[in-house]
Amino acid sequence: MSDEPDFHLFIPGPAGSTPEVIEATGRPVVPHYGGRFVAAYNRCIDLFKAVFQTENDLFLIVGPGTASLDAALSSALPDGARVLVPSNGFFGRRMTEMCRAHRAEVDVVEFPLGEAIDPEAIRHRLEASVAPYDAVAWVHHETSTGVLNPIEPVAAAAKDHGALTILDAVASLGGADLPVDAWGVDLCVSVANKCLAAPPGISAISVSAAAWEAIDANPSSRSWYLDLRTWRRYREEWAAWHPFPTTVASNTIAAISTSIEQILEEGLDVRIRRTAEAATEVRDGLRRLGFEMFAADDVASPVTTSVYAHPELPVADMQRFLMERLIFISGGLDDLAGRIFRIGHMGRSIERGEVELLLGTIEEALRDAGVAVPEGADLENIGA
């Protein structure tokens, strides 16, 4: 189909897509309005709702995941809102930064890198506060450390104290279970190009009744495009013809619909299980090759594996070796740069053949660096 080289993306997003998704991306550009496109668009929203496991309103905002996070914060937080941010890594810190950019008064509850957020600590913090919090905002999958944070107990604590729940599920949705309604997430944000395995271009945000109440009561607006009231108005007033305020990334809509259809055909639960199995295979394989995991097994995310650098092979050298073979993994961010590397389990990278390719090539990289590796250490026991 194309002369492009065959890239193997083991980074935590964007993820490799199936041939059918690539084909959908490459179809001719269509007008982003009119009955035919609107039907396809609304179907895409329904497909997203199935993955979010939500009956809430859901909007597809053109842009990266960050655009929908900005939409959540800009729409729901009045100037001076009090927000509690449990944080355990780069994206938790970014959530704090974003809330402050939206003029919120932020209190951070900091947890060590590589550990999960502790819901009890959040509950205590909410209980101990004299003034109530307007919102608790946190990250489901902390992609910088490969840790999956708890949702339900944190959301329950927030609800018990009258706070809105705002969740960055950019990296987890479609790869880890996240029943948005059952777990009480008011504003949940995700994106097309991580576990949903479509090309970048579209982010998604679900909005609960409680979130709408907060949004309608918000006297401030720090955006027009990223104000959910704008999106709701266009959905109502231009429903039949153009139910969104701007041009839409129509090719990405076609691609993401195809990808979610494939996920639902396989079964969301099956996809989630396969993702976890790929993570386990990579963890086991890397351990046999002599690597040590950064996040402990009980908090490790199924979506990204974080691994300490091999004492005899610097991360940058290993990345270079892999990159020459079109295999891409990620290094560490900030304080963890040079200390860890990260492997995403999203889209194509969870396929058995891809996992074997990755482990086999890392084994080669070790041998190339003169590190002693037991013969076939990477592959034995896979799938056992």
For position 146 contacting ligand PLP by CB under 6 A, the verdict is: no
- Between CA 308 and CA 39 the distance in angstroms is 48
Q: Which is nearer to ligand PLP, 47 or 171 (CB)?
A: 171
Q: Which is nearer to ligand PLP, 136 or 171 (CB)?
A: 171
For position 66 contacting ligand PLP by CB under 6 A, the verdict is: yes
CB of 348 to ligand PLP, least distance (A): 17
End-to-end CA distance of the chain: 36
Q: Which is nearer to ligand PLP, 48 or 91 (CB)?
A: 91
Of the candidate residues 8, 9, 10, 13, the single one contacting ligand PLP (CB under 6 A): 13
Q: Which is nearer to ligand PLP, 151 or 171 (CB)?
A: 171
Of the candidate residues 16, 64, 201, 302, the single one contacting ligand PLP (CB under 6 A): 64
Of the candidate residues 48, 91, 111, 291, the single one contacting ligand PLP (CB under 6 A): 91
CB of 171 to ligand PLP, least distance (A): 3
Of the candidate residues 16, 65, 174, 175, the single one contacting ligand PLP (CB under 6 A): 65
Q: Could you tell me which residues come within 8 angstroms of residue 149 by beta carbon, excluding any fewer than 6 positions away?
A: 86, 88, 116, 117, 138, 139, 140, 141, 142
CB of 344 to ligand PLP, least distance (A): 9
Given a contact cutoff of 8 angstroms between Cβ atoms, the answer to whether 132 and 98 are in contact is no
Q: Which is nearer to ligand PLP, 168 or 354 (CB)?
A: 168
- Between CA 231 and CA 59 the distance in angstroms is 8
Strand-pairing partners, residue 9, are 328
CB of 244 to ligand PLP, least distance (A): 19
CB of 65 to ligand PLP, least distance (A): 3
Q: How many residues bind ligand PLP (CB under 6 A)?
A: 12
For position 218 contacting ligand PLP by CB under 6 A, the verdict is: no
CB of 224 to ligand PLP, least distance (A): 20
How many other CB atoms sit within 10 Å of the CB of residue 81?
21
Of the candidate residues 139, 180, 276, 282, the single one contacting ligand PLP (CB under 6 A): 139
Of the candidate residues 54, 74, 96, 143, the single one contacting ligand PLP (CB under 6 A): 143
For position 170 contacting ligand PLP by CB under 6 A, the verdict is: yes
CB of 209 to ligand PLP, least distance (A): 25
CB of 13 to ligand PLP, least distance (A): 5
Of the candidate residues 76, 113, 148, 171, the single one contacting ligand PLP (CB under 6 A): 171
Given a contact cutoff of 8 angstroms between Cβ atoms, the answer to whether 192 and 255 are in contact is yes
Q: Which is nearer to ligand PLP, 170 or 214 (CB)?
A: 170
CB of 365 to ligand PLP, least distance (A): 25
Build a one-symbol-per-residue string for 175-194: x at contacts with ligand PLP by CB under 6 A, - elsewhere. Answer: ----------------x---
Using CB under 6 A as the criterion, which residues of the chain lie in contact with ligand PLP when the complex forms? 13, 64-66, 91, 139, 141, 143, 168, 170-171, 191
